[in-house]
């Protein structure tokens, strides 16, 4: 590089830098940035509950310590569908009953007095206000959303 080139290069850089600082034009403004906070969908609910059958609507096994519905209640067993609906009656979540656990008489462990099934249904959309919960085709029971914070109880006698 010749001496002339070495002197011209810094001069050209200085001229380019000063050209951007001209006072006869309006100051450059940065493009507006949108810092819009993404709207957050309400967190989904975890609906937890119990479904209980009372005597004589179930059979139980002492050896496996499990129970299930009998006769006209034989649709109530492990895997039976539990449906959650919104206020319009639209299905919004589905789960299943867990294995039936016999509740034995405190004075006689060979006698079951009821059969208890648990269910947990994750990812139920929140913000609906009122929810229906139905086990098998046994009719919907309605709950307020605030009631779903605790385990809900359903059953047949």
Residues sharing a CB contact under 8 Å with residue 132, sequence separation 6 or more, in sequence order: 83, 84, 85, 86, 89, 140, 141, 142, 143
Q: What is the mean pLDDT of residues 55-61?
A: 94
Domains, the chain, ordered by start: 45-156 (2.60.40)
Q: Indicate the pLDDT class of residue 42, thresholds 50, 70 and 90.
A: confident
Residues 65, 55: Cα–Cα separation, whole Å: 16
Q: Indicate the pLDDT class of residue 62, thresholds 50, 70 and 90.
A: confident
> Residue 93 has what pLDDT?
98
User: For the segment 2-25, what is each residue's pLDDT rounded down to a tens digit?
Assistant: 444 444 444 444 444 445 544 454
* pTM for this predicted structure: 0.73
> Residue 110 has what pLDDT?
87
Does 75 score more than 70 pLDDT? yes
User: For the segment 96-122, what is each residue's pLDDT rounded down to a tens digit?
Assistant: 999 999 999 999 988 999 999 999 999
């Amino acid at each position: 590089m010749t001496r002339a080139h070495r002197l011209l290069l810094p001069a050209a850089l200085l001229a380019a830098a000063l050209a951007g600082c001209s006072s006869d034009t309006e100051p450059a403004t940065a493009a507006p940035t949108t810092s819009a906070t993404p709207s957050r969908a309400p967190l989904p609910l975890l609906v937890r509950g119990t479904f209980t059958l009372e005597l004589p609507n179930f059979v139980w096994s002492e050896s496996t310590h499990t129970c299930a519905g009998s006769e006209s209640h034989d649709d109530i067993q492990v895997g039976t569908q539990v449906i959650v609906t919104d206020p319009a009656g639209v299905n919004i979540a589905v789960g299943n009953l867990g294995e039936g656990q016999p509740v034995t008489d405190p004075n006689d462990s060979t006698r079951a007095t009821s059969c208890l099934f648990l269910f947990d249904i994750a990812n139920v959309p929140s913000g609906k206000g009122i929810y229906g919960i139905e086990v098998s085709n046994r009719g919907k029971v309605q709950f307020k959303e605030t009631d779903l914070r605790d385990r809900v109880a359903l059953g047949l006698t």
